[in-house]
């Protein structure tokens, strides 16, 4: 899945993105993924600068080497 596809699906009302894989270098800076279910996703090396992940489920999500500058992690579920 591409970052653009993820954002389009989210805008259409989808919140379940379990086990998705995004290519390293994907730019999701400023994205609104409020309450998205990203559990078990591979989001390594993704740019989330300024993104809103409030209430997202990040259980077992790989965020290795991702840019997480000024990301809203309020009420994130089970980061790690």
Measured CA distances, 42 to 45, 58 (Å): 9, 10
Confirm whether pTM is higher than 0.85: yes
Q: For residue 10, what are the contacts with CB-CB under 8 A and spacing of at least 6?
A: 17, 32, 33, 36
Q: For residue 39, what are the contacts with CB-CB under 8 A and spacing of at least 6?
A: 18, 19, 57, 58, 59, 60, 61
Distance (Å, whole) CA 63 – CA 14: 21
Q: Inform me whether the pLDDT recorded for 22 exceeds 60.
A: yes
- How many domains does the chain divide into? 1
Q: What is the pLDDT of residue 79?
A: 58
For residues 60-75, average pLDDT: 97
- CATH code of the domain covering residue 10: 2.160.20.80
Contact assessment for residue 47 and residue 24, using Cβ atoms and an 8 Å cutoff: no
Boundaries of domain holding 74: 1-79
For residues 23-38, average pLDDT: 98
Q: Inform me whether the pLDDT recorded for 9 exceeds 70.
A: yes
Distance (Å, whole) CA 68 – CA 71: 6
């Amino acid at each position: 899945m591409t970052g653009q596809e993820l954002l389009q699906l989210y805008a259409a009302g989808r919140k379940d993105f379990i086990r998705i894989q995004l290519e390293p270098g994907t730019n999701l800076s400023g994205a609104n993924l409020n309450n998205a279910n990203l559990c078990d996703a591979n989001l390594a090396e993704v740019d989330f600068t300024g993104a809103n992940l409030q209430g997202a489920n990040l259980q077992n999500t790989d965020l290795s080497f991702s840019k997480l500058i000024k990301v809203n992690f309020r009420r994130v579920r089970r980061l790690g």
